[in-house]
Structure 1
Amino acid sequence: MHIETKLADLGFALPPAPEPPPGFQFAFEWARVRGNRVYLAGHGAQNPDGSLAGPFGKVPSEVSVDAACDSARLVAVSMLGSLSRAIGDLDRITAWLLVSGMVNADSGFPQSTVVLNAFSDFLLVLFGPDIGAHARTAIGVASLPMNSSVIVSAEVEIS
């Protein structure tokens, strides 16, 4: 399957571990391996150098739906970076089980599912339907850490 090759073909590179902004500390593990499961903390979008990527703000008043969808794809890449550091080889992933996504949404914004579809569709392109299909929650929230537009956590199965 060679997930990292597929990522490169799509123009993406795995970022290093996220660096906290000044005055902030990450007091958790990005990826926690237990048996054949990996539990992934809430990830935001990252630039290739590991810095936090925008856009920042509420969807759709400050961040367009299209820009939030782009951010959701970068969240997937960020998450894959954490998985790679935790398990060594992304081809060890045998199933995406559960994805929980949050969109920093204006009150009444009804399209959180549309934004999170970009994350889900990206996984399906990379892993195919047998491994990439997953259960999912997509909700709009009043705010997210560091004013991120999208944050996603997940659970995967590995061999």
Structure 2
Amino acid sequence: MSGVAAGRVAARLQRLGVTIPIAAAPKANYVPYVCSGTQLHVSGQLPKSNEGEYITGQLGVSLTVAEGQEAARACAIQVVSQLQAALGDLDRVKRVVKLNVFVNSTPTFTHQSCVANGASDFIISVFGEEVGRHARCAVGVAQLPFGAAVEVDACVEVAN
């Protein structure tokens, strides 16, 4: 597992068969994360396939709920890669405070929360119930950068 420090979170990732990719650099004028006190804010992360391509499409037109959940999970993997880059040791995550999940969807699509479960379920499986269970906002949007299916940002509390 490239770039993941040994510890309880790394062990969970290994059991899940997930390799955390190298954190993506921003494609616009912002930073990928900001640490303020004990809070770390991760900028919106887009879903990438195993081949490194963006997962694109719109829920209610070209993607099913299950495909949206996979895209949300892929976003959560990118969030974890940014946490790894920021902290070095994922065991420093004391609490996942909140995820915001933006779902590229039609005006009549109403299952954004089901799509967002793809990200939430992954985060909880990686960090465990006590650390990983979080507040969440799931909203439908008309479009996302690069036509991405989902975007996820996060706020976590970190140990010193």
The amino acid that maps onto 1:15 is P
The residue correspondences of 1:1-159 to structure 2 (distance < 5 A) are 2-18=8-24, 25-48=27-50, 51-54=52-55, 56-159=56-159
Is contact 2:99–2:136 with CA below 8 Å preserved after alignment?
A: yes
Is contact 1:15–1:46 with CA below 8 Å preserved after alignment?
A: no
2: CA distance, partners of 1:41 / 1:125: 21
The offset of 1:18, in angstroms, is: 2.1
1: CA distance, partners of 2:23 / 2:120: 22
Deviation readout 1:123-157 (Å, 9 max, x if unpaired): 11222221111111001110001100010111000
Count of residue pairs the alignment pairs up: 153
Change (3 A) 1:26 1:4: farther
Deviation readout 1:97-132 (Å, 9 max, x if unpaired): 111110000111000000001111111122222111
Query: For structure 2, which runs of at least 5 residues remain unmatched after alignment?
Result: 1-6
Is contact 2:33–2:86 with CA below 8 Å preserved after alignment?
A: yes
2: CA distance, partners of 1:148 / 1:122: 19
Is contact 1:102–1:141 with CA below 8 Å preserved after alignment?
A: yes
SS at match of 1:95: strand
In structure 1, the residue matched to 2:4 is none
The amino acid that maps onto 2:12 is K
The offset of 1:52, in angstroms, is: 3.8
Identity over aligned pairs, percent: 29
Deviation readout 1:9-50 (Å, 9 max, x if unpaired): 212111113256xxxx3221111111211001000113456x
SS at match of 2:83: helix
Query: For structure 1, which runs of at least 5 residues remain unmatched after alignment?
Result: none
Tell me whether 135-144 or 1-10 shows the greater mean CA deviation: 1-10
Is contact 1:17–1:81 with CA below 8 Å preserved after alignment?
A: yes
Is contact 1:43–1:151 with CA below 8 Å preserved after alignment?
A: yes
1: CA distance, partners of 2:83 / 2:116: 19
2: CA distance, partners of 1:3 / 1:53: 26
Is contact 1:15–1:47 with CA below 8 Å preserved after alignment?
A: no
Is contact 1:13–1:48 with CA below 8 Å preserved after alignment?
A: no
Instruction: Output the aligned Cα RMSD.
Output: 1.6
Tell me whether 60-69 or 88-97 shows the greater mean CA deviation: 60-69
TM-score normalised by L of structure 1: 0.89
Is contact 2:102–2:141 with CA below 8 Å preserved after alignment?
A: yes
